[in-house]
Every structure is written in C-alpha cells, then in structure tokens.
Structure 1
C-alpha cells in the first residue's frame, strides 16, 4: 500500500499511503517503542502534534498523517465522510505494518479515535481523547444554518491559506457538510453507545472556554456530557481539565496530554492477557 519499499520499523519514514481514490501524507518515526497514531482536528494538519511528540521523545513510535485534502500533500477525494476518516486509520496502520496502536485524537480526531477504539478493541492499546468525542445534541436546524453561514463567509480568504497547508483544499460547502455531519455523529444516541463499548484504558484531556465558531458557554455545556460517560464506563476517565481553550490545547497544555498517554500505556501493560 505504501509507495516506498521501506521497512515498517527501524528508521524514520515519510511518504504517501494510498487509500480508496486518494493518498495520504504520512510520517512514521519508526523504532521499537509503543506505536502511537495521532488523529488530527477536522481541518488541521499533523504539524499540530509537534510539541507533544517532542515532549514524549524517541521512546515511542509516532505516526502522524494529514487527512484527505488536508496539509500540503494529501490528495483530493470523492469521499470526505466521517466513515472515510475512520477507514483511513486502518489504511495508515496497515501500510506501516502496525497491528496494535495507542490512538490519540484531538477535536474531530477524538471522535475518530473513539470510534476506532470501540470497533477494534483487540487492536487498541488505549485511547487519549483531547477535547472532543463529547456526546451532545448541539446540532439543530438553527445551528446548521449558522455553520453554513460561517463557512460561506470564510470562503473568501481560505484560498490564500491553502498553499501553506493551513487550510483544507475543500470547498466551503464541503467544510460545512463535514461539520454538520460531525454534529450528527456527536448526538448522544449515536456517540453514547460507541463510548460505552470501549473496553481499553481511555483518558480525556479537556480544554476550557470556547472553540472556533462557538458562543458563550456552548462548549462547556457540550463538555458536561462526559459526566454520564465516565459514570457508565469504568474504562474511561477524565485525566485533566486544562486552562487553555480548544484551539490552543496542543500548543499550551501538551504536558497534560503526555501524562494521559503515559498513564494509558502503563494501564494497558497491567491488563491481563488471554
């Protein structure tokens, strides 16, 4: 599946991984440490993880990638759905020869990580969900209209950022549809059962304050949905609530994410094996 004949372990590797009708830009630090795959925010890039990866250091095997039409190199696709994002995790791990990994996701990536961990308990060492995957019925008709209006306004300056890789190569309509689909994925009746099925050590790191496009205490009300989750599932706990907001958490409070990853890995080592 990879375009290079490089060994899945050993030296660092950077290349393109083919999946469906597209190809994803992937970076793998290699080595024999615990494999950690990092799942990006909805329109973010693998560069967002640099502080966290540097802090964890070379004792881990870090695998990052840019989703479809994100970053500078990942290719366009006919499918930008949430299910495609989940499939991409499998494609990247298979291409790098990794059967079992610790999944870390931020924002949109936390939803992807939760779904992947729920569906693949035998392949998941553990999960760290960073300010995302919080069950909440925040999507209604008024919110859909607000989302569409927001992305229509953004369409004028997004092309200026695309050559830098800081904006996705998606139309305003595609970005809006992706955000609206996430609202459906986040509904309590949809996400609640997914989280209830997680059987591996899972930790949340939660931000404070707002996220892009949110108003007032909307984000805090969404985060409150985690209380019921941790009550129902003993495998899931809130590791930390940090001072930084949603957009700054990986830059300003990455030590809390490092601590959660370390805790999850330790707990996984302590679990009995069949």
Structure 2
C-alpha cells in the first residue's frame, strides 16, 4: 500500500478493463506516486493528455483510458449515458487497485470529474476541471435541434475516420443524444448543487474563446458563471485563465494544467498533515 492508501504497481500496464457489456482500454504508469486519473473530452481519447503527463513527470501514477466506443480499442456498448461514464471511473480505479485518486477532466470530462469528486469525498484527493464542469443553462429546443443537425452533418464522413480512433464508434444519433444529455446536466439547477457540495480542493483551468459548435460568446458566458460557484464554495478556485481555445488547451497550455494538479495535490497533503 502507498501513503495514499492505494496499492501500487511497479511497472506500466496497458490492457482492457471489462465493465458491464463493454471493455475499456486503460494505461497505468504504475509506481508509488499520487494516482491521477484523467477523464477525456466527450469524443476524444487518452492520448490528448500526453503533454500534461510529460510535464508532471514520473513522480506521479498516471491512469488514462478511452471511454466506451472511443479510441481504437474500447468496445461499443448499449449504454453511453453520463451515469455510466461516472461509474466507469470507479471500474477503472477498482481494476487497478486504486482507492484514492486525484481526478482531472477536460470539457465533458470536467463534468464527470466534478460528479465523481462530489460523490466520493473520502476517495477524491481533489479535482482539476479543464474548461468543463461549469453550470449554465444553454440547452433549449433550438439548441437541441442545432446539435442534431450538427451531428447529422458530420455523420457522413465519420465512418471513414473510425479506424484511426479519431472519432467514436457511435452513430450520429448516439453522439447527439450524449451531447444533449450534457446540456441538461449542465443546467444551473443540476450542476450547481453538485459543485456546492464538493468538500475537496477543486481548481479550474479555463480556456478563452470558442469551441467546436459554439457561436459568438457562448463559451465565455458559460465561464463567467463560475464566479458565483467560487463565491459559494471556498474549496473551488480558478487556477488559471489561459489564451488557448477550448480545443487547443491540452496542447498549448498543458503547463497550466500540470500546475493546477500540483496545487491540488499540495492542498491534499497539507490537509492530511492537519488531521
């Protein structure tokens, strides 16, 4: 057992973790360092985290995985709901013998990380939410139709890219439903209480400008909503607001994300010394 109360493995492990009707492709660097589990954007893969992981270095135990039907290896499923994604965090950690972890999520993964940290106050060392996990009422009937049209439009070329792992092995309708569900989960009345109830250190790293599918200042309006969140919960702060866009933040501002991870880990260690 490590000082964090988790089992450790001395060497890197890559393999498949069975869960429900599917299996997830997982990579675990092993070692006795603080376990950090990375949760991807809605349709991205674990490879997006490579710069953050490289900046943090080998003193940490990095656990990455591809969500259901994402990447080249994770299998398809009958269930792509948000709840299954949150439960899959537990499945991956259990399979790797990790009880307590620091969770890092980008975009969609930020919402997953916030929910997991809220539900597991005794297991979460803290959370870093990268341009995701903000409460905002952006979903209405017009937006729902816009999302469906967007995914129908890109659906025609998706099968050509699926063998590369760059797009999920989900239908256009499944992707649209997942995105619409996210909009409902993001609503203030849904997401606000989740953030208000978090009792572990949380740090946001925010991008600037637009994201794929957004218009005008939609993304900035969402980010501005965090002012009320940080005012209500002293555990939550904004670590950095960077110049990168939503889509480029993991590539261009990985150092700010790594710095937020170090900050949260230091707060957990400081809290442990006081108890």
Q: TM tier, shorter chain?
A: over 0.9
| Inter-partner Cα distance in structure 1 for 2:12 and 2:60 | 12
Q: Which runs of structure 2 are paired with 1:85-124 in the superposition (5 Å)?
A: 85-124=85-124
| Inter-partner Cα distance in structure 2 for 1:160 and 1:47 | 20
| Inter-partner Cα distance in structure 2 for 1:158 and 1:245 | 23
1:59 is matched with which residue?
Answer: 59
**Does the aligned pair in 1 maintain the 2:138–2:187 contact within 8 Å?**
yes
**Shift of residue 205, structure 1, vs aligned partner:** 0.1
**Shift of residue 161, structure 1, vs aligned partner:** 1.0
| CA RMSD of superposed structures (Å) | 0.9
Q: Secondary structure at the match of 1:271?
A: helix
Q: Secondary structure at the match of 2:62?
A: strand
2:261 is matched with which residue?
Answer: 261
Q: Secondary structure at the match of 2:216?
A: coil
Q: Which runs of 5+ in 1 are unaligned?
A: 1-6
| Inter-partner Cα distance in structure 1 for 2:54 and 2:106 | 17
| Inter-partner Cα distance in structure 2 for 1:187 and 1:199 | 21
Q: Secondary structure at the match of 1:166?
A: coil
**Shift of residue 8, structure 1, vs aligned partner:** 5.2
The superposition leaves residues 174-207 of structure 1 with CA deviations (integer Å, 9 ceiling, x where unpaired) of 0000000000000000000000111011100000
| Inter-partner Cα distance in structure 1 for 2:161 and 2:54 | 26
2:243 is matched with which residue?
Answer: 243
**Paired residues, what number?**
268
The superposition leaves residues 137-157 of structure 1 with CA deviations (integer Å, 9 ceiling, x where unpaired) of 000000000000000000011
Q: Which runs of structure 2 are paired with 1:1-274 in the superposition (5 Å)?
A: 9-272=9-272, 274=275
Q: List structure 1 runs of 4+ shifted beyond 4 angstroms.
A: none
**Does the aligned pair in 1 maintain the 2:128–2:204 contact within 8 Å?**
yes
| Inter-partner Cα distance in structure 2 for 1:90 and 1:142 | 35
Q: Which runs of 5+ in 2 are unaligned?
A: 1-6
| Inter-partner Cα distance in structure 1 for 2:134 and 2:120 | 20
| Inter-partner Cα distance in structure 2 for 1:194 and 1:245 | 26
| Inter-partner Cα distance in structure 2 for 1:87 and 1:22 | 13
